Amino acid sequence: MKEFKFQARFVSFEKNEEDEYFSVGFSEDEFNFENYMFFCRSYSEEEPEYTEINDQAYGGYNICKKAVLFDDKFLVNLTINDENWEINIDLKGVKLEKIVIEYLKFILEDKLK
């Protein structure tokens, strides 16, 4: 299992009315970042979520297997190219607004604990 950890200092979230999707992203910085995690899902609940970690090469549909949100961290289990990853995002530097949690619930459905 690959393990990866970074500290989030910025959280982005969007409800895109034109393209009909919800997205949530965590990164080290708003503009200059190497480490990030991105979640996205169409309004259509029939389509799976899209998840990406640091690069499109490490992204895909339905690769998130489980996500656990704590007050100070976000643990995410992914399967990328038949390899299991455990992502630990330190949330001590950010405050999650209630809307971010609602978007994550929609995007990840029952994968979010």
pLDDT at position 40 is 97
Task: Give the C-alpha separation, 43 to 2, whole Å.
Answer: 31
How many domains does one find in the chain? Answer: 1
**Could you tell me the residue range of the domain that residue 20 belongs to?**
2-111
Task: Give the C-alpha separation, 13 to 38, whole Å.
Answer: 10
Instruction: Per-residue pLDDT tens, the chain, 113 aa: give them.
Output: 999 999 999 999 999 999 999 999 999 988 878 899 999 999 987 889 999 999 999 999 999 999 999 999 999 999 999 999 999 999 998 999 999 999 999 999 999 99
pLDDT at position 32 is 77
pLDDT at position 15 is 95
